[in-house]
Amino acid sequence: MRHIISVRDMDRAAIDALLDAAYEIEARRYNPQRLAGKILALLFYEPSTRTRMSFESAMARLGGSSVTMGSVEASSVAKGETLADTIRVVSGYVDAIVLRHPKEGAARLASEFSSVPVINAGDGAGQHPSQTLLDLYTIRRAMPINGVRVGLLGDLRYGRTTHSLALALSLYGAEIAAVAPKGLELPSGILRELADRGTSVTEYSAIEDVIAGLDVLYVTRIQRERFPDTASYLDIASSYRITPELIGLARDHLIVLHPLPRVDEIDPRVDAMPNAKYFEQAHHGIPVRMAMLSEVLA
């Protein structure tokens, strides 16, 4: 039985196989009834719009169906049931489980109690492998991932997507430039792990200093609640804003990614530029999640 819990569990061959499968699906070379008769449970203990909808859509496009737990307040969770018990029960109803949970490691725990495959759709500040896979897929659709120069920008301390992406990129010999406000830099544990994997990370304080050498700029949201007051947030947020003028300093083939939702990080004028790939990136959630579901269910 195959679970998809963390990019740490995946080697390059496993990631490439999923990206290849996603490419075939996007090219419409797949059986739309591949998962006919299969049922997917969506257990979302936290709010989610795009992840939940894209898994549901992915399942439907493969001929399968989905059942949801509904809101946590209206479920047995409100009565105090443990995640382990919920998983033991629900895994008897369905063929696979997609789980989002506020606690880190929840998906790993679920996989230990489940009789069917578990896919992690985000566990607190921990892992979110489907996001990482669609990030990689978007890069690969634009250029070879091998040796790519990626700038990570924004809240790199708490932003889980950047940690998972950096770890996955280390399998491809990527060079990473990290640009974060003071106090929101990549955690030392991640830096050490990347170094162990042979990936060098260069840290910069200003995006202008590094953008000219990048192939990919991965922007994340700087959360207002990380700052003591609105003034200091606005001060930092404005200095990390991506504008057409900033992209003018970059090479033509630079692509700009963002896991969305964005707030003020990217000027809407960038949306019309050929470099802007973040909506395409979100759309890639469907073929990538279809590939993941096929992998664990077929």
Q: Is residue 82 close enough to count as binding another protein by CB under 8 A?
A: yes
Residue 50 annotated in active site: yes
Q: Is residue 77 close enough to count as binding another protein by CB under 8 A?
A: no
Residues in the chain: 298
Pick the closer one to another protein by CB: 62 or 110. Answer: 110
Q: How far is the CB of 190 from another protein (least distance, A)?
A: 9
Q: 């739309």: which residue's tokens?
A: 32
Pick the closer one to another protein by CB: 51 or 120. Answer: 120
Report yes or no: 89 and 33 within 8 Å, Cβ to Cβ. Answer: no
Q: Is residue 192 close enough to count as binding another protein by CB under 8 A?
A: yes
Residue 51 annotated in active site: yes
On the 0-12 / 13-18 / 19+ scale of CB atoms within 10 A, 289 is: buried
Q: Which stretch binds another protein (CB under 8 A): 33-41, 80-88, 203-211, 286-294?
A: 80-88
CA angle (285, 278, 48) in 5-degree steps: 50
Question: Which one from 2, 8, 50, 251 is the annotated catalytic residue?
Answer: 50
Q: Which residue in 10, 83, 216, 286 binds another protein (CB under 8 A)?
A: 83
Q: How far is the CB of 188 from another protein (least distance, A)?
A: 9
Question: Which one from 61, 128, 140, 163 is the annotated catalytic residue?
Answer: 128
CB atoms within 10 A of CB 255: 24
Q: Is residue 108 close enough to count as binding another protein by CB under 8 A?
A: yes
Query: Rounded to the nearest 5°, which phi and psi values hold at 96?
Result: -160, 160
Q: Is residue 155 close enough to count as binding another protein by CB under 8 A?
A: no
Cα–Cα dist 126/164, whole Å:
9
Cα–Cα dist 215/30, whole Å:
31
Report yes or no: 270 and 247 within 8 Å, Cβ to Cβ. Answer: yes
Cα–Cα dist 122/88, whole Å:
20
Strand partners, 39: 65
Structure tokens that stand for 110 in this block: 């679920």
Q: Which stretch binds another protein (CB under 8 A): 17-25, 138-146, 188-196, 251-259?
A: 188-196
Residue 38 annotated in active site: no
Q: How far is the CB of 4 from another protein (least distance, A)?
A: 15
What residues numbered 17-36 form the site for another protein, per CB under 8 A? Answer: none
Q: Is residue 7 close enough to count as binding another protein by CB under 8 A?
A: no
Residue 100 annotated in active site: yes
Chain-centroid distance of CA 218 in Å reads 11
Pick the closer one to another protein by CB: 56 or 123. Answer: 123
Q: Is residue 63 close enough to count as binding another protein by CB under 8 A?
A: no
Smallest CA-to-CA distance from 258 within 11, 12, 50, 5 is with 50
Q: Which stretch binds another protein (CB under 8 A): 89-97, 104-112, 229-237, 270-278?
A: 104-112
Strand partners, 40: 66, 96
Q: Is residue 157 close enough to count as binding another protein by CB under 8 A?
A: no
Pick the closer one to another protein by CB: 196 or 252. Answer: 196
Residue 243 annotated in active site: no
Q: Is residue 126 close enough to count as binding another protein by CB under 8 A?
A: yes
Return all residues near 137 (Cβ < 8 A) that are at least 6 apart. Answer: 19, 22, 23, 284, 287, 288
Residues that bind another protein (CB under 8 A): 6, 8, 82-84, 101-106, 108-109, 123-127, 189, 192-193, 196
Active site residues: 50-51, 79, 100, 128
